[in-house]
Each structure stands twice: as C-alpha cells, then as structure tokens.
C-alpha cells in the first residue's frame, strides 16, 4: 500500500513538472505593449492562430500612436502612407497618457509586420513583428 501511494505521489509530481515546463512555451493570448516616442515595448510577439487575443496598449509617449498589424505577406516600404491602408489586417489608436484594452481574432499562422501608422513614426523606427503559430 505504501509503495502505490509513493508511486502516485511521484506520478503526480512529474505531471505537474511537465505541465509547468510546457506552459512556458505556449504562445500567449494576452499581449501587453507600451508605446513610447518612438518604440513598441516589447516589439515582438508570438500568439496562436485563430484565437481571441486581448491587447492592453498603454501610450507613455507625448503623441498619439497606432498599433497596426499588416496583412500576411505585406510590409511597409520606405514610409507608411495611404498606399498601405489596404494592407492593414487590424489597428488601434491610443492617445498620449491613455491605455486601451481591446480584443481581436488572430489571423492565420505566419510572420506579420507591426508598425505605428502615425506620420513619421515608421521611419523613426516604430516597428515590430508578430509571429502567429498554429494552436
């Protein structure tokens, strides 16, 4: 009886350890990003495809910023402009000193470019990447 109780404890402990190890590798459905003048912090994200994603965006900068996800296979050229509007998958604007919490559905798996669409911000380096992985 003591042996089977001991084995049960060992099996449960190993299960918890394995679950904890694999949980850290899973892409998150919660994103937190801070906008400053002129960066996203962090500027790279990994999320699961097709899932509802909660984004908390805080603007610590002095001007309005945008978090723009470009469509799969598209990137902004030398500058973000009107010609890029049709290539936007999803976007949000956040005024200085404000924070917004929003949800969106993650697109299909692939690599996506993130930019700030406010005039001059892309050129100033306000760019990032979004990696979408199969769930």
Two structure tokens written together for 95:
């005024």
H-run or E-run covering 98: none
pLDDT of 9? 45
Q: pLDDT at residue 74 above 80? A: yes
SS3 82: helix
How buried is 107 (Cβ within 10 angstroms: 0-12 exposed, 13-18 middle, 19+ buried)?
middle
What CATH topology corresponds to 27-133? Immunoglobulin-like (2.60.40)
pLDDT, tens digit, for every residue of 30-44? 999 999 989 999 999
Q: Which residue, chain included where needed, has tokens 């690599």?
A: 111
H-run or E-run covering 134: none
Which residues contact residue 5 at a Cβ distance below 8 angstroms, ignoring those fewer than 6 apart? none
Q: Which residue, chain included where needed, has tokens 């917004």?
A: 100
H-run or E-run covering 72: none
pLDDT, tens digit, for every residue of 43-67? 999 999 999 999 999 999 999 999 9
pLDDT of 11? 46
């Amino acid at each position: 009886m003591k042996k089977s109780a001991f084995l049960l404890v060992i099996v449960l402990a190993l299960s918890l350890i394995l679950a904890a190890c694999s949980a850290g590798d899973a892409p998150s459905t919660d994103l937190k990003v801070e906008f400053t003048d002129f960066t996203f912090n962090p500027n790279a994200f990994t999320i699961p495809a097709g899932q509802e994603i909660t984004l908390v965006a805080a603007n610590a900068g002095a001007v309005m910023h945008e978090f723009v996800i470009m469509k799969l296979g598209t990137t902004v050229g030398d500058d973000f402009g009107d010609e890029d509007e049709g290539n936007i998958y999803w976007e949000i604007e956040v005024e200085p000193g404000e924070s917004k919490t929003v949800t969106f559905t993650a697109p299909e798996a692939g690599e996506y470019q993130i930019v700030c669409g406010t005039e001059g911000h892309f050129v100033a380096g306000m760019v990032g990447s979004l990696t979408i992985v199969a769930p």
